């Protein structure tokens, strides 16, 4: 921040600025000709070299032994900035505003329970579809368990509707893992949905991921795309979502770290801070709300 002081003293009413110069252009043009000579003729490169050296020397002459400046006249006067908006208003945030953050959350086990319950619930419509449409208990199991992929490409309908142990094992693993993971996800995200958590988590979320799957499955696995009945698929997903959401929402919630003071949340050593704050009845939420602008 000392550059202004380094400029030479100018008479009153004038300011010293770097003087215009053509030498940078001469240098750049010289380099251009050097490059142009590469694709045309060495003579052009030679001319470019002469120009570039001249430009460099001229540039040095501009700054050594002293930087060349020119004087520009000026007139200082007071600028009085005015705003068309005279009033300053504040955005008021009520004390409950941060309640939309997950200040409480279901425990990990609640998510797992929800996932298990949802996983069981979605088996019902999926199996029902197989029984009604193909008179087979195993249709949905075999589709999930690998029909159309790896070493079981292009299976016949008879194969898909009959029991196959490897497909059952694969489907069970996939179904259990996905159910538990999505259940955990519900446990983490449902407290963030401010209203109607079961509706949003149970209905809209399954519709959303079904839509994504419907749009992309023809690219990922065209065989599966042809074999899935999307109405029944949506019904089974909603069954999962509603049941998992309901189970998670009914479980006892635990407090998140949002209840703790900031210093404690970032891991600073603050002995006694939590106890003191409880005694004073202070809440981090109201503090930050007051300071927000």
Partner 1 sequence: MADSTLPVDRPMELPGDLPGEQPGFTWLETLHTWVTTVDHKKLGLMYIGYALIFLLVAGVEALLMRVQLMVANNHFLSPEVYNRLFTMHGTTMVFLVGMPFIIGFANYLVPLMIGARDMALPRLNAFSFWMTALGGFFLYYSFLGAVGLQGAGSAPDTTWWGYAPLTERAFSRGHTMDYWALALVMSGIGTIGAAVNVIATVFCMRCKGMTLFRMPLLVWLNLTTAGLILVTISPLTAAQIMLLIDRYLGGHFFDSQAGGSPVLWFHFFWIFGHPEVYVLVLPAFAIANEVIPTFSRKAIFGYPAMVAASAGIAFISLGVWAHHMFTVGMSAPGNAFFVLSTGLVGVPTGIKIFNWIATMWGGKIRFTVSMMFAVAFVAQFLLAGLTGIMLSMAPWNWQLHDTYFVVAHFHYVLVGAIVFCIFSGLYYWFPKMTGKLLSERLGKWHFWLFVLGFHMTFDFMHIPGLLGMPRWIYTYQPGFGWEKWNILVGVGAFVQGIAILLFSFNMVRSYLKGAEAGPDPWDAWTLEWATSSPPPPYNFAIEPVVASRRPLWDQKHPEDPDWRYE
Query: Which residue ranges make up the site for partner 1 (CB under 8 A)?
Result: 1-4, 13, 15, 17-25, 27-29, 31-32, 35-36, 38-40, 59, 62-63, 72-85, 88, 91, 219-220, 291, 293
User: Cβ of residue 37: shortest distance to partner 1, in angstroms?
Assistant: 10
Pairwise CA distance, residues 136 & 117, whole Å = 24
Three-class SS of residue 195? coil
User: Cβ of residue 163: shortest distance to partner 1, in angstroms?
Assistant: 31
Q: Which CB atom, from 56 or from 229, has the smaller least distance to partner 1?
A: 56
As to burial, measured by CB atoms within 10 angstroms (0-12 exposed, 13-18 middle, 19+ buried), residue 271 is: exposed
- For residue 220, give both structure tokens: 């990922």
Q: Which CB atom, from 98 or from 229, has the smaller least distance to partner 1?
A: 98
User: Cβ of residue 48: shortest distance to partner 1, in angstroms?
Assistant: 11
Tell how strand 253-255 and strand 69-73 pair up. Answer: unpaired
Q: Which CB atom, from 20 or from 65, has the smaller least distance to partner 1?
A: 20
Q: Which CB atom, from 82 or from 135, has the smaller least distance to partner 1?
A: 82
Give, for 188, the enclosing helix (H) or strand (E). Answer: helix 165-189
> What letters, b where the CB count within 10 A reaches 16 and e where it falls short, cover 27-65?
beebeebbeebeeeeeebbebbeebbeebeeebeebeee
User: Cβ of residue 81: shortest distance to partner 1, in angstroms?
Assistant: 5
Q: Which CB atom, from 81 or from 281, has the smaller least distance to partner 1?
A: 81
| CB 158 within 8 Å of CB 223 | no
Give, for 5, the enclosing helix (H) or strand (E). Answer: helix 3-6
User: Cβ of residue 109: shortest distance to partner 1, in angstroms?
Assistant: 29
């Amino acid at each position: 921040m000392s550059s202004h002081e380094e400029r030479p003293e100018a008479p009153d009413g004038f300011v010293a600025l770097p003087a215009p110069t053509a030498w940078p252009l001469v240098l750049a043009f010289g380099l251009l000709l050097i490059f142009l000579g590469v694709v045309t003729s060495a003579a052009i490169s030679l001319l470019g070299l002469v120009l570039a050296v001249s430009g460099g020397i001229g540039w040095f002459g501009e700054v050594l032994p002293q930087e060349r400046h020119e004087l520009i006249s000026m007139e200082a006067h007071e600028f009085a900035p005015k705003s068309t908006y005279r009033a300053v208003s504040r955005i008021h945030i009520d004390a409950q505003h941060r309640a939309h953050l997950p200040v409480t959350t279901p425990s990990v086990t609640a998510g797992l329970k929800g996932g298990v319950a949802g996983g069981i619930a979605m088996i019902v419509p999926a199996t029902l579809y197989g029984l009604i449409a193909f008179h087979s208990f195993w249709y949905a199991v075999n589709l999930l368990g690998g029909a159309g992929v790896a070493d079981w490409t292009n299976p016949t309908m008879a194969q898909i509707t009959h029991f196959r142990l490897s497909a059952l094992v694969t489907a069970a693993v996939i179904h259990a893992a996905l159910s538990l993971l999505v259940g955990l996800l519900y446990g983490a995200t449902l407290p963030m949905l401010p209203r109607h958590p079961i509706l949003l988590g149970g209905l809209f979320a399954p519709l959303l991921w079904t839509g994504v799957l419907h749009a992309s499955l023809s690219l990922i696995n065209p065989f599966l795309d042809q074999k899935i009945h999307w109405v029944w698929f949506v019904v089974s997903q909603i069954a999962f979502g509603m049941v998992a959401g309901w189970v998670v929402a009914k479980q006892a919630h635990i407090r998140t770290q949002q209840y703790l003071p900031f210093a404690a949340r970032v891991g600073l050593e603050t002995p006694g801070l939590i106890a003191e704050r409880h005694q004073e009845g202070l809440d981090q939420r109201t503090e930050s709300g007051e300071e927000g602008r």
